[in-house]
Every structure is written in C-alpha cells, then in structure tokens.
Structure 1
Amino acid sequence: MTKTALITGVTGQDGYYLSRLLLQKGYRVVGLVLPQRQSNLAKLGSLVNKLEVYAVDMTDTKVLSGLLEQVKPQEIYNLAAPSFIPDSWDDPLGTLDLVTGTAIRLLTAVRQTGLAIRFYQASSSEMFGKVDCSPQDENTPFRPMNPYAAAKLHAHWTTVHHREYYNLFACSGILYNHESPRRSPQFVTRKVCLGVAAIKLGISDRLEIGNLDAKRDWGYAGDYVEAMWLMLQQKQPEDYVIGTGKLHSVKELVATAFESVGLDWTRYVVVNPNLVRPDEHFLLVANSTKAKQKLKWQPQLSLEKLLEKMVHKDLERLQNGTIAATGKP
C-alpha cells in the first residue's frame, strides 16, 4: 500500500528536501500552503508537479479535519514556521499563532478524525536558548530567548501532551542549524556562499560579516529530513535532538567557503558591528547520541562539502542569471 504523507511548510527548505526524500521512498506527498502564499510554490521548481498541493486556511480546525478525512495521511510533518528567526520580534503574536496554533489545530484534527496518523513536530535548538552546559541533549532544560523559540517550545510541549494525555503517535525533532543551497540569503551560511560566488565572478569585491567568533552546529538539511522520517518509523514516539555535535565559528565558515574557490578570505571580508546579533554567544551544540543509537541516524555531509555545494550552486545561479548578487531572483 502506498503511504500518504502530509507536509505543512512544504515550500520551505525542509519541505523541499523532505518531499524529495518521501517521493523517492514511493510516498504520495500532499503539501499544504496558505492561500496568500501560493506564489511560494515556485520555490519547489519541477518538484511541485509531483506533489498534491492544497491551499488551506490553517487557522480553521474544522477545515483541517475535513482535509485529513479526505486525504487520509498515515504521516503528518508539521514544518510550518517563520523562515527567519529575528523577524519574530516584529510579530510575536503572529509567530505564536503560526507555530503553536498550527500544531494545536493539526493535533486536534488528528484526534477528531480518529485516523491512525503519526505526527512529527519541527522543534528547534533555539528552545534551549541561554544554556548553562554544552552539548545539549533531550534532558537539557529549555530557556528560550526570542519569540520564535518561545512559540516553538509551546508547540513542542503541546506535542508531548498529546502523546502522553491522548496517546497519539506524536514526536518532535529538536533540530540544530541545517543548511543547503535552498537557504534564504538572510542566513549567514547562504549570505557567505552567495558573497563568495559574487566575489569569484568579479561582481563584488567585499563581504560584510558581523561576529566572526560566533559558533554554530551546522549540518545539511538533506541529512536532517531523513531523521524526521526515521522518527515516524519507530515503534514508540519519542523526541530526539538532531545535530552534528561539532561547533564551527563564522570565521571557519568564511575561510572554508572562500577556500572552495581558491580565494583568501582576509582580502575580502569586512567586519560590520551592526550585523552582530545579541544572542550569538550561546554555545548551542547537539548531543545526538539517542538519535544515533535508536534511529541509527548519522549526518553524512561534512560542513566543508556542504559549503562547497552551496558556493558552486550560487556560482551557477549568478552565471545563468537566475539570481542577483543580493540573492533576489
């Protein structure tokens, strides 16, 4: 029997890689988009022709219940969230509704339909926030430091409550930073890779960066969506921390990206204090022992290979004119 998976946030980076993975596994993949964001389907490229897409008001539980009855998915992956964390300060209530509200309404719809659906909630390492210890695992206390993280934490606990109180198969993946050529240029990894490509082609002669000493646990989105899928294939629903367990500084990121095209980063990088984020000193790094033992999951793509992949994709885009050096089409 062909399995059906339903994905919210299907037009985002993770939505793309998860859709691709599930299609390769023979799934029927159903994507949900908000009616006002249907234009974002263009981000999926030719992949969109292989999906069933519904424009749905995800603020209406009754509509969601009706859709579940119609589609009858075996798995739901709730990836709906704002794409850029700092923006959550400008709209904390909207962020709460999109992240937590969507999770609550979907889980309520699962309960109301009575269908045997396995539910995945996209949680975030941002929930750990101002940590006292590193690395972090599933038992590390949460101390969210921004509206996005607080909303993610509410959705995370909502998922736990539905698992424990209603006995639903509901689990969360606490994912650390995961990147790809599909990342928005707002994110430092893509900003650096696009900047390197533009400098290599002579379109630009400098790259402005904030805190070079900030450190992150960066992995490849294509690896992380496999962990999401593995969580829903287990006998029991549990929560898992997903990351590489390796910290790299922005300076290392920059040096590696420039090195991938044979350039010396010190000749082109300018530090701009205005680009420094106030929360960059927290050392968020994953202890994914549980995922490695129970899911048999391991990150496959190294940061060096990931950055090389991203820089060369941006070289290709700039050369064929599909994007400008600003990252806009």
Structure 2
Amino acid sequence: MNPENSPTASSNINRKPKIALITGITGQDGSYLTEFLLAKGYEVHGIIRRSSSFNTGRINHLYANPSLHKEGAMKLHYGDLNDSSSLVKIVSSVKPTEIYNLGAMSHVKISFDLSEYTADVDAVGTLRLLDAIRTCGLEKDVRFYQASTSELYGKVQEIPQSETTPFYPRSPYAAAKLYAYWITINYREAYNMFAVNGILFNHESPRRGDNFVTRKITRSVAKVHLKQQEVLELGSLDSKRDWGHARDYIEAMWLMLQHDTPEDFVIATGEAHSVREFVDAAFQEIGKRIIWEGEGINEIGKEEDTGIVRVIVNPKYFRPTEVDLLIGNPKKAEEKLKWKPKTTFKELVKEMVASDIELMRKNPTA
C-alpha cells in the first residue's frame, strides 16, 4: 500500500490544525496558557496593544529568537478589545479553532478609578469579540473561552460559591464581568456557539502583576530580606480569598474547550486564606515570624525576634465596597473535567517569594 493512501496518512491530512487566539497573551494567564498550548502542538496567535515600549516580558522566551523578537509558533497581532475592526481583521485572517478571551482591565481597586474604561474593555470588549466570530462566519468552527471571575459573587450569598450561587458584584470590574458572563451565555444559546465561562477564583504566580496584593506582599518580603525595604503597607488584612496557582488554572481553561458540551465551571482550590495569613506565610519563607498587635487601621505586624514593625494598614488601599470572603466549590470541574489543583497554598507562596528574592537581588528597582 502506498503510504500516502494509508488510513493514518489520510487522518493526518484531514485533521484540522489547532489554532488558538488569545487576548491578554502578555499577562500572567496568557503567558502560561501560551506555553501550555505550544507544548501541545498548537499554533498560538496573540492580540497585543500598541505600546511605545515592548510589553512582552512574560512571553519573550517563547519567540523563535527572543533577542530579535522573531516569531515562530507564537505569532502576535496588534489589536484592542475596544476596536471591533481590529478584532474582525484578526479573527478573519487567523481563523482560530479556539479563542481565549483573557484580556481585561483586571485590577479591582483601579476599576473604581477607571470605571468607564473597565466597562468598555471587559464588558463590551467581550461582545465585540463574540460578534467578530459571527461576522467572520466562524460561529460553528470556533470554541470560545470567557475569563469570568470569582469577583462576580462579591457580597457572597452562600459559602462556598458554586456555578449556581447568585451573583452580587461589588466593583465596576465585577459588574463589567457580569455583562461579559451573561452575553457569553446568550450567544451560546442564541447562536448555538461553543462558548463557555471559566469562573476562576484568585490565581497567582511569580508572573502576577506587581500591584496585586499577593505580588505586592512577596516583592516587599523579598526586599525586606535583602535590606532594600523596611515596611509593607496594606489595606484590609481580614479579606479572605481562595488562592491557587495560575499554571494549574490555565489547564482547566483548556479542558473546558475540549469538553463535549459547552458548560460553565468554577475553578478553585476549595480553601480560603486571609491576607494576614498570606503575609505570615511569606515572612516564614525568609525565617521571620510576624506578631500582630492592634485592630482595624491601627493593626501592625512586628518581627517576633526584633520587634521591628514590618506591616502597617493604610486606608488608601481600602476598596469603596469590600469583598470579605471568596471560597469556591470546584466539585463540578473535578467530576466533569477531571481537574484538580496541583499546587498548595504554601507551595505557591514559597515559589513567589523565592522568585522575587532572585528578581530583587538582580535588580533592586524592578
């Protein structure tokens, strides 16, 4: 038999190449997802916003030639979630089989300062991308992942939170994401699109943005360890979050798009820790035990052995409307996707502190 006529050759010819398009590719989740998909043989396309300086630090190592920014299996396109024409052009030319909408103005506190922009990008941006798929006639060919968020639960109506827990958003970010959540479901039901929401609880890593509380803590602890900083200022120490590792969570995103039917899933660890506990765990990584004194805005954290004050509360970091407790129930994902988190809370903190010590040792101004 001629090898070209063999069943294997025929199936290889007919098998569609996997092509992923990622918004937010330069972010924490986008970089981990790109690594993951490239390892699975995908061709990965990412949408990046134009900037006067390179903003691809998290994905530079994925270029075919990082020193020249030469593309290989990862290809980048200029576009924006608030520019529908750019989205239509990119979707039309790339013809992806999977789209991961990770792009967003994703900082909850800052969304109060940029409320209109947050709505335009996070809410209407999702609509623009869904419409781009339909404009290009690809609604039957593309599987669409929408990055939803545990912030949708806000003032929680039950503990823990699952796929059926009522939403009560408490920020412009959460309210914008609520629209994106429902428009994704609407397009799924109205146009029979394979479109899903991943309701991901907090997920961190050494690649987390510098102004998110977990990264702020690990960066400061690293600087304290290297004698580059004295004190860490934080907002609410009592807020509790369900913290996992971004590297684990992006696998869940992918699994949702491989599932037989389009469904929404909560992705979480099922355990919650306070900001105070995160601080304790981070300082333990540099051999320091923190003792807490006082209450509310007067609470401070001291080193047990020296009495040096390392943590103070600054009201400027309080949100206008706080979210006190988020803890997810990932049972559906465990049962239907066979997904479970691999990284423990302690392991997450350990990895982040170690990475930031190395970073600050090389560049104290990073």
Same fold (TM over 0.5): yes
Contact kept in structure 2, 1:211 and 1:271, CA below 8 Å: no
Where do 1:41-120 residues align within 5 Å?
41-49=56-64, 50=72, 51-115=74-138, 116-120=141-145
Q: Within 1, Cα distance between the matches of 2:206 and 2:339?
A: 22
What amino acid does structure 2 have at the position aligned with 1:35? R
Counterpart in the other structure of 1:35: 50
Q: Does the residue aligned with 2:189 lie in a helix, a strand or coil? A: helix
Counterpart in the other structure of 1:16: 31
1:216 aligns with 2:227: no
Counterpart in the other structure of 2:349: 307
Equivalent residue in structure 2 for 1:295, among 327, 337, 355 = 337
Question: How big is each residue's C-alpha offset from its partner over 1:200-221, in whole Å with a ceiling of 9 and x where there is no partner?
Answer: 1122232223332221111101
Equivalent residue in structure 1 for 2:268, among 240, 243, 247 = 243
What amino acid does structure 2 have at the position aligned with 1:258? F
What amino acid does structure 1 have at the position aligned with 2:111? S
Counterpart in the other structure of 1:277: 319
Q: Within 2, Cα distance between the matches of 1:276 and 1:237?
A: 37
Contact kept in structure 2, 1:194 and 1:314, CA below 8 Å: yes
Structure 2 runs not aligned, ≥5 long: 1-15, 65-71, 291-301, 304-308
1:6 aligns with 2:21: yes
TM-score (norm: length of structure 1)? 0.93
Q: 1:280 to 1:91 in 2, by over 3 A?
A: closer
Question: How big is each residue's C-alpha offset from its partner over 1:219-241, in whole Å with a ceiling of 9 and x where there is no partner?
Answer: 10111111100000011001111
Q: Does the residue aligned with 1:271 lie in a helix, a strand or coil? A: strand
- Further displaced range: 85-94 or 284-293: 85-94
Q: Within 2, Cα distance between the matches of 1:139 and 1:27?
A: 33
- Further displaced range: 65-74 or 95-104: 65-74
TM-score (norm: length of structure 2)? 0.84
- Further displaced range: 275-284 or 148-157: 275-284
What amino acid does structure 2 have at the position aligned with 1:233? Q
What amino acid does structure 2 have at the position aligned with 1:33? I
Count the aligned residue pairs: 324
Contact kept in structure 2, 1:218 and 1:244, CA below 8 Å: yes
Contact kept in structure 2, 1:174 and 1:241, CA below 8 Å: yes
Contact kept in structure 1, 2:77 and 2:90, CA below 8 Å: no
Q: Does the residue aligned with 2:56 lie in a helix, a strand or coil? A: helix
Contact kept in structure 1, 2:98 and 2:144, CA below 8 Å: yes
Higher helix content, 1 or 2: 1
Counterpart in the other structure of 1:163: 188
What amino acid does structure 1 have at the position aligned with 2:87? L
Q: Within 2, Cα distance between the matches of 1:2 and 1:23?
A: 12
Question: How big is each residue's C-alpha offset from its partner over 1:136-172, in whole Å with a ceiling of 9 and x where there is no partner?
Answer: 1111111111111010000110000000011000000
- Further displaced range: 7-16 or 84-93: 84-93
Following superposition, the deviation at residue 65 of structure 1 comes to 2.5
Q: 1:293 to 1:63 in 2, by over 3 A?
A: same
Following superposition, the deviation at residue 277 of structure 1 comes to 3.5
Q: 1:37 to 1:7 in 2, by over 3 A?
A: farther
Q: 1:193 to 1:94 in 2, by over 3 A?
A: same
Q: 1:63 to 1:250 in 2, by over 3 A?
A: closer
Q: Which has the larger radius of gyration?
A: 2
Tell me the percent identity. Answer: 47
Following superposition, the deviation at residue 8 of structure 1 comes to 0.3
Following superposition, the deviation at residue 76 of structure 1 comes to 0.1
Q: Within 2, Cα distance between the matches of 1:291 and 1:147?
A: 28
What amino acid does structure 2 have at the position aligned with 1:70? S
Where do 1:167-206 residues align within 5 Å?
167-206=192-231
Contact kept in structure 1, 2:157 and 2:167, CA below 8 Å: no
Following superposition, the deviation at residue 48 of structure 1 comes to 4.1
Q: Within 1, Cα distance between the matches of 2:53 and 2:260?
A: 36
Q: Within 1, Cα distance between the matches of 2:89 and 2:232?
A: 50
Q: 1:87 to 1:210 in 2, by over 3 A?
A: closer
Where do 1:244-259 residues align within 5 Å?
244-259=269-284
Counterpart in the other structure of 2:68: none
Q: Within 1, Cα distance between the matches of 2:180 and 2:53?
A: 25
Q: Within 2, Cα distance between the matches of 1:25 and 1:64?
A: 25
Structure 1 runs not aligned, ≥5 long: none
What amino acid does structure 2 have at the position aligned with 1:297? W
Q: Does the residue aligned with 2:325 lie in a helix, a strand or coil? A: coil
